[in-house]
Amino acid sequence: MKKITFISLLFSIILSAMAFVMCDAHAQANESSIPDIFQGEKDAIKHNCVIVRLKDANHPMCVLQKFEGHELKLNIYDADVNGKYEKSQELCIPSWYQKAKVKFLELTSNGKQFIFLTFEGNTGTGTLQMILMIIGWHDGKYVPVLAETVDYHIMERDDSTSLKMSYAIENIKTQKVNLLLEYKFIAKNINEFPFQFNSSWTEILKWDEKSFSFYNEQAEREKIKSTLFLIQKNISNVRLLMSNIDIARLCIDFFEKTKIMYILEGYNK
């Protein structure tokens, strides 16, 4: 079974840091290509700015998406009292292969929408990790409420390891919304002593409006104590580190502080 080497992880972190720096450089070099103001909703839509309600159900906004180099830039605009949309923030999402995707969904009953992102994590020859992150507006800033690996595969010679997660949203648009997560883990070796190990499990993550998160610290610590499967422990450890994330520095802080690229590290067949 292939382990995630320090060099490959360091390479991925360096690439992410480069994307962060390049994002800032591109922002200056291409400033004229991203409008600062749209004259109204029709003007915003004409420029492919998606109308959303991220801060309040009654507060119109729009988001303009643009790939530049190895990142996806989300340019966020707020509507003023005159109906003009003025750029208020830019989020830089790492996307080395430009696979990042964005959608907006109303999860709870207050009418606010959340940003659903999928983007690359660990990458390299024979390695690709895709991550789901959900971001919401809370206490005057955008904060991550969930980050999970939805697909992760590592292949080297005769070894392959993969983790896949599918999810379903239950009780959507209510304060009792939750996520049903279904995980499947497979490790294979086809050398002279072939083997295959499979594991699957299901989790339910309940929304907590008070903590503004799908994660419960006590529940995750109990999972770490009770489970014998290292991959599940690693996933819970990532969840416990989510409170350290600054969305404005997503390209750097997310990978460095959550260690999400390490979730398959340490698996022993």
> Could you count the other beta carbons within 10 Å of the beta carbon of residue 190?
12
pLDDT tens digit sequence for 36-90: 999 999 999 999 999 999 999 999 999 999 999 899 999 999 999 999 999 999 9
| pTM of the predicted protein model | 0.86
- Residue 252: which pLDDT band, with cuts at 50, 70 and 90? confident
Q: Which of 9-18, 111-120, 143-152 has the lowest mean pLDDT?
A: 9-18
- Residue 31: which pLDDT band, with cuts at 50, 70 and 90? very low
What is d(CA 45, CA 62) in angstroms, rounded to the nearest whole number?
Answer: 9
Buried b / exposed e over 205-244, threshold 16 CB at 10 Å, is: bebeeeeebbbeeeebeebeeeeeeebbbbbbbbbeebee
What is d(CA 118, CA 124) in angstroms, rounded to the nearest whole number?
Answer: 18
Polymer length of the chain: 269
pLDDT at 33: 81
Q: Tell me, yes or no, whether 268 lies in a domain.
A: no
Which of helix, strand or coil describes residue 18?
A: helix
Contacts of 119 (CB under 8 A, 6+ apart): 72, 93, 94, 95, 99, 100, 101, 130, 131, 133
Q: Tell me, yes or no, whether 240 lies in a domain.
A: yes
pLDDT at 153: 95
The stretch 21-30 carries a mean pLDDT of 46
Q: Tell me, yes or no, whether 51 lies in a domain.
A: yes
Percent of the chain with pLDDT over 70: 87
Q: CB of 20 within 8 A of CB of 173?
A: no
Q: CB of 269 within 8 A of CB of 197?
A: yes
Q: Tell me, yes or no, whether 26 lies in a domain.
A: yes
Mean pLDDT, the chain, rounded, equals 88
Residue 8 pLDDT exceeds 70:
no
Residue 140 pLDDT exceeds 90:
yes
What is d(CA 21, CA 80) in angstroms, rounded to the nearest whole number?
Answer: 31
247 or 23, higher pLDDT: 247
Split into its structural domains, the chain has a count of: 1
The stretch 154-170 carries a mean pLDDT of 93
Q: Tell me, yes or no, whether 10 lies in a domain.
A: yes
pLDDT at 143: 94
The stretch 111-136 carries a mean pLDDT of 96
Q: Tell me, yes or no, whether 1 lies in a domain.
A: no
pLDDT tens digit sequence for 197-248: 999 999 999 999 999 999 999 999 999 999 989 999 999 999 999 888 888 8
The stretch 6-30 carries a mean pLDDT of 50
Residue 190 pLDDT exceeds 90:
no
pLDDT at 254: 86
Q: Tell me, yes or no, whether 15 lies in a domain.
A: yes
Q: Tell me, yes or no, whether 22 lies in a domain.
A: yes
What is d(CA 110, CA 209) in angstroms, rounded to the nearest whole number?
Answer: 11
What is d(CA 6, CA 60) in angstroms, rounded to the nearest whole number?
Answer: 45
Range of the domain at 41: 6-261
